[in-house]
Structure 1
Amino acid sequence: MGQVVWEVGAAYEAYVGRWSRPVAREFVAWLGAGAGRTWLDVGCGPGALTAAALGADPARVTGVDRSPGFLAEARARTDDPRAGFAAGDARALPVAGRRFDVVVSGLCLNFVPEPGRAVAEFARVTAPGGVAAAYVWDYAEGMAMMRHFWDAAVELDPPAARFDEGSRFTVCAPEPLAGLWSGAGFTAVRTRAVEVATVFTGFADFWQPFLGGQGSAPGYVASLTEPRRTALRELLRSRLPAGPDGSIRLTARAWAVRGELR
């Protein structure tokens, strides 16, 4: 299995993007930022959090991402003149210091090779009195669609455990997130869970996103021979909690953190 790729907006949307929008809306409501603020969305991806921030009546929202594909998707989806997008790395943001009232990052921080450097950059660009906040999926316990997938995959192929986000992403829990924020100099640091329903119309609706090749689990599926892929698919089919109508009701939990800059 090669390097995990995040580039194609449509594949991301089918996999986890559709669940990211309600999380983004609840996260923005939790921040409670007043109208007329300047926002920076770090690792904006296809623009789910940017769209939620625009609903908070900001003066301006700037989205930054390393992926040309995601930036193109975000621009295509966003026709609000208050939004703009730029290429950049979370560890070296292409913006001036002390510029933004609200700095946010959604479902991105665990993919940054040095998250401490990224959070230090959040502190650098946050204006005095501003807030910086982020959220990440709870891969270890709270992202049920992935937990079901990796539990089945590892049962059939124990070495697959090395690709499981639940063990690879150590920042995806309240304590390490709070530690990153405190270490960067933020005060009044708080964390909370954000949980949303993830309802699939049937097994095909659950399984199809894993065939998109984008992300750790879809990348793993793409690496399998057809017999091994079939075995994994059928084991999952036998275990998922389907209702009388065939629908599969799961939950997705993210951990959020916020802090203030004095």
Structure 2
Amino acid sequence: MAPDVWARGDAYEAYVGRWSRRVAAAFVPWLGVPAGMRWVDVGCGTGALTQTVLELAAPASVLGVDPSEGFLETARAEVPGASFEAGTAASLPVADRAVDAVVSGLAVNFVPDAPAAVAEFTRVAAPGAVVAAYVWDYADGMQMMRHFWAAAADVDPAGARLDEGTRFPLCRPEPLSHLWLAAGLVEVDVRGIEIPTVFASFDDFWRPFLGGQGAAPGYLAALPPSQQEAIRTALRARVPAMADGSVALTARAWAVRGRRISR
């Protein structure tokens, strides 16, 4: 199995980081966290969610945590006003009960042990703090990826095992809710957030898949050029184009929130 690759912040930003920012703009206000609170963004990547917290939540502080030094380098350069440290979701560089909001964007499904990660989120959350995350609806609502994996299956049926839609059953409302409840969180709620993902042309749609960052681009980069071109051809036949050549799709994320018990 080709590994998911998370190293280059610029390529990740072109692939899904820019779309994560749009989800974050709806996600942060939904949490209802008052101004002046302490936040930690787990799996912060290039800082899409971190930046949105700074812009919309008037926090006292925001710490972004990610295991990828390449992503952290981009985040430090692009998101002034936040601090960033290397770390994993299962071992956060944060003291017990130290923050008022623990958030994570597009990361929980990639953590090897999701229950352990949410337990860690809960550990660092102060009594009454919000613990929340969002993930793509890989199985149905993330159209750019659904088209890609359908085209890939036409060319390389063995590649279907890498499809996030089957790899990540967590990315649905009920499993997310159960995960949060199992961590002892209360007032658990799940909602869908849908955003437009519009590309100027098919080439504009295809180019981010060549960046090698993430599951689909990492898989594509591991293929010989002939198979890459075959997938491109199959994908062009599948992706709907407007009269002007643009590609207008949508992407849905599932967002979950809960609170640590106030004691």
- State if a TM-score over 0.5 links the two structures: yes
Deviation at 1:2, TM superposition (A): 3.2
Are 2:104 and 1:105 aligned?
A: yes
Q: Secondary structure in 2 aligned to 1:3?
A: coil
Q: Secondary structure in 1 aligned to 2:91?
A: coil
Instruction: Tell me which residue corresponds to 1:256.
Output: 255
Instruction: Tell me which residue corresponds to 2:25.
Output: 25
Deviation at 1:235, TM superposition (A): 1.3
* Residues in 1 aligned to 2:48 and 2:225: alpha-carbon distance in whole angstroms: 34
What residue identity is the alignment partner of 1:173? R
What residue identity is the alignment partner of 1:220? Y
Deviation at 1:226, TM superposition (A): 2.2
Deviation at 1:86, TM superposition (A): 0.9
Range that drifts further, 100-109 or 224-233? 224-233
Range that drifts further, 143-152 or 215-224? 215-224
* Residues in 2 aligned to 1:224 and 1:261: alpha-carbon distance in whole angstroms: 45
Deviation string 1:10-32 (CA, Å, 9 cap, x unpaired) is 10011111111110111001112
* Residues in 2 aligned to 1:139 and 1:31: alpha-carbon distance in whole angstroms: 23
Structure 2 residues without counterparts, runs of 5 or longer: none
Instruction: Tell me which residue corresponds to 1:231.
Output: 230
Instruction: Tell me which residue corresponds to 1:36.
Output: 36
Q: Secondary structure in 2 aligned to 1:51?
A: helix
Deviation string 1:72-129 (CA, Å, 9 cap, x unpaired) is 111101222xx21111111011110111111100000011000000000011111001
Are 2:80 and 1:76 aligned?
A: no
* Residues in 2 aligned to 1:86 and 1:225: alpha-carbon distance in whole angstroms: 36
Kept in 1: contact 2:18–2:48 (CA 8 A): no
Instruction: Tell me which residue corresponds to 1:171.
Output: 170
Tell me the number of residue pairs that the alignment of Structure 1 and Structure 2 aligns.
260
Kept in 1: contact 2:143–2:251 (CA 8 A): yes
Q: Secondary structure in 2 aligned to 1:140?
A: coil
* Residues in 2 aligned to 1:69 and 1:224: alpha-carbon distance in whole angstroms: 24
* Residues in 2 aligned to 1:161 and 1:241: alpha-carbon distance in whole angstroms: 22
Instruction: Tell me which residue corresponds to 2:193.
Output: 194
Instruction: Tell me which residue corresponds to 2:3.
Output: 3
Q: CA RMSD in A?
A: 1.0
Instruction: Tell me which residue corresponds to 1:180.
Output: 179
Instruction: Tell me which residue corresponds to 1:131.
Output: 130
* Residues in 1 aligned to 2:252 and 2:32: alpha-carbon distance in whole angstroms: 20
What residue identity is the alignment partner of 2:2? G
TM-score w.r.t. length of structure 1: 0.97
TM-score w.r.t. length of structure 2: 0.97
Q: Secondary structure in 1 aligned to 2:230?
A: helix
What residue identity is the alignment partner of 1:251? T
Q: Secondary structure in 1 aligned to 2:154?
A: helix
* Residues in 1 aligned to 2:175 and 2:93: alpha-carbon distance in whole angstroms: 26
Mapping 1:86-101, distance limit 5 Å: 86-101=85-100
Instruction: Tell me which residue corresponds to 1:143.
Output: 142
Deviation string 1:43-85 (CA, Å, 9 cap, x unpaired) is 11110100111121010111111111111111101222xx211
Instruction: Tell me which residue corresponds to 1:215.
Output: 214
Instruction: Tell me which residue corresponds to 2:157.
Output: 158
What residue identity is the alignment partner of 1:84? S
Q: Secondary structure in 2 aligned to 1:86?
A: strand
Q: Secondary structure in 1 aligned to 2:255?
A: strand
Q: Secondary structure in 2 aligned to 1:208?
A: helix
* Residues in 2 aligned to 1:161 and 1:234: alpha-carbon distance in whole angstroms: 18
What residue identity is the alignment partner of 2:68? S
* Residues in 1 aligned to 2:44 and 2:221: alpha-carbon distance in whole angstroms: 26
Identity %: 61
What residue identity is the alignment partner of 1:234? T
Kept in 1: contact 2:154–2:234 (CA 8 A): no
Deviation string 1:209-261 (CA, Å, 9 cap, x unpaired) is 11111212112222222222222111111121100000000001100000011
Q: Secondary structure in 2 aligned to 1:175?
A: helix
Instruction: Tell me which residue corresponds to 2:116.
Output: 117
* Residues in 1 aligned to 2:221 and 2:199: alpha-carbon distance in whole angstroms: 22
